[in-house]
Structure 1
Amino acid sequence: MATLTAARGQDDRFFLTLSIAMALTIVAGFSLQLAMGRSSFASPIHVHVHALLFFGWVTLYVAQNVLVTRGSIALHRRLGWLGAGWAAAMVIVGIFTTATMVRNGTAPFFFEPAYFLLMNSLSILCFGGLTTAAILLRRRTEWHRRLHVCGMAMLTGPAFGRLLPMPLLIPYAGWAVFAALLLWPMLGLAADRSRRGRVHPAWWCGLAAMAATQLAMTLVAHSPLGLRLYAAVTAGTPGARVPPLDFPPPPAGPLITGR
């Protein structure tokens, strides 16, 4: 019994540490963006809503791990239902914000616009899917927390996109971000193997979902379906004049994201 309790305590501390590390990565990425003058508080209202939801989720995710570590399971469960609604709002606002950027012709120049549209939209849908699976499996703690990590890992993509030298990674910028965000489930996989001698299958399921998402965004963006989707989203807007599979030219002035 004592051994089981000690192992559970180790797990709790590991997932708390991982949640803090992911949160700090996100804060670092967006803080660097602001410090370099590539982000502006003058952004449209929907960008601020997106940021509020995004950072609110990060705060909630860390808080939930703190509650588990402290044994406040009842409060953790009550906040979990708040988190379910919060995650749903993030998916909706995330896709809307991405579509707005593409419609305005302001996709980052190190991504093909059609790829950017699919990348952000499918990434937030993958987050939503993994988070939903984690909620459905909330009574199976080992599955629940590991699937949440994989979902949260998808949200660190934009942070890595701000920390990595993206212009130097063209045309592989998207794959570079994907490789970076795999850090989190791989750390979990390594911790399982070290402490348990085996890898929990939740990691493999989460990694499979993440890999399938990355492959889908790459293949669909360059397919007739992806081009039709891009045309439908950008119809009648400045984005319609931007070639969907060409890398846009770098901006003449400072790159301001979220417009």
Structure 2
Amino acid sequence: MATIAPAAATSNDRFFMRMAIIIAFTIISGFVLHFAMGRSSLGARPLVHVHGLVFMGWVVLFLIQVRLATGGSLALHRRLGWIAAGWACLLVVMGLAITIDVAMRGGTPFFFLPQYFLIANPMTMLCFVALTTAAIRLRRSTDWHKRLHLCATVSIIGPGLGRLLPLPLMGPYSFDIVIFVSLLFPAAGMIHDWRQSGRVHRAWAWGALAIFLIVPTSQIIARSPVGDMIYAAVTQGHPGEKVPGLEFPPSPLTE
């Protein structure tokens, strides 16, 4: 997502394009796998479908923008960038909407604490917003811009990556494990930088730190009185009100 690019694709361009493809493949594969296994269906409520379309729309925009920045039209990249910025806002709104809807319905997956799920997802969205905003503000510093944008999309890779991992077997740390596995992407960027120039760009460190902090920040808030109040306010008057926020829902594997 750089604003300046050389006439011919460099090894650095190819690296970012490959990374974008791998990220997109990871997200799409997770959803396709669950659909193929019958864990997802077209019979889901409309909100789920709208959220899925918005999420996949971001993945497509992300791929297009990386392609344009690494060997396409920079003028189109800039124009499409503002559309992507608006789409990012829509993505955040839908992410929050589906999280609140799941909590109200009492439908949190059995391997997540309902209260932690309700807090951690918005924290993920906050991380995405922070990294995306920083990338936009630093759009003239192409080295920062493209790395921060990649980290921003990595921060929301969880829905796809989590569907590829055996989360039901990972116990109470399922969400945390997904976050830590996603850090392999900025780690790959660090390794690439080191091999290319003998140093690691600071954008990777900031991006990785922002993603990492999702876990401790979410844990602290979810297990605090603030987390209790948020969970109670969201679930009040809904089926989720009867679901203990800090207890794991019954596992269908043991029923």
Q: What is the TM-score of this pair, normalised by structure 1?
A: 0.93
Which residue is 1:165 aligned to? 166
Q: Tell me how far apart the structure 1 counterparts of residues 158 and 241 of structure 2 sit (CA, whole Å).
A: 26
Corresponding pairs, count: 250
Which residue is 1:89 aligned to? 90
Q: What is the TM-score of this pair, normalised by structure 2?
A: 0.94
SS of residue in 2 equivalent to 1:199: coil
**Structure 2: which amino acid aligns with 1:66?**
R
Q: Tell me how far apart the structure 2 counterparts of residues 86 and 10 of structure 1 sit (CA, whole Å).
A: 29
Which residue is 1:256 aligned to? none
- Deviations along 1:95-130, one digit per CA (max 9) or x if unpaired, are 011000010000000000001111111112211211
CA contact (8 A) 2:235 2:241 kept: yes
Compute the displacement of 1:6 (Å).
Answer: 9.3
Structure 2: 5+ residue runs without aligned partners? none
Q: Tell me how far apart the structure 1 counterparts of residues 253 and 44 of structure 2 sit (CA, whole Å).
A: 19
Compute the displacement of 1:249 (Å).
Answer: 0.6
- Identity over the aligned pairs, expressed in percent? 49
Residues 1:50 and 2:34 are matched in the alignment: no
Residues 1:236 and 2:234 are matched in the alignment: no
Compute the displacement of 1:175 (Å).
Answer: 1.6
Structure 1: 5+ residue runs without aligned partners? 254-259
Equivalent positions of 1:150-161 (< 5 A) are 150-161=151-162
CA contact (8 A) 2:116 2:219 kept: yes
- For the aligned residue pairs, the C-alpha RMSD in angstroms reads 1.7
Which residue is 2:247 aligned to? 246
Q: Tell me how far apart the structure 1 counterparts of residues 81 and 6 of structure 2 sit (CA, whole Å).
A: 23
Q: Tell me how far apart the structure 2 counterparts of residues 190 and 127 of structure 1 sit (CA, whole Å).
A: 23
SS of residue in 2 equivalent to 1:247: coil
Q: Tell me how far apart the structure 1 counterparts of residues 215 and 137 of structure 2 sit (CA, whole Å).
A: 24
**Structure 1: which amino acid aligns with 2:46?**
I
Equivalent positions of 1:91-170 (< 5 A) are 91-170=92-171
CA contact (8 A) 2:183 2:212 kept: no
CA contact (8 A) 2:193 2:200 kept: yes
Q: Which runs of 4+ in 1 moved over 3 A?
A: 4-8
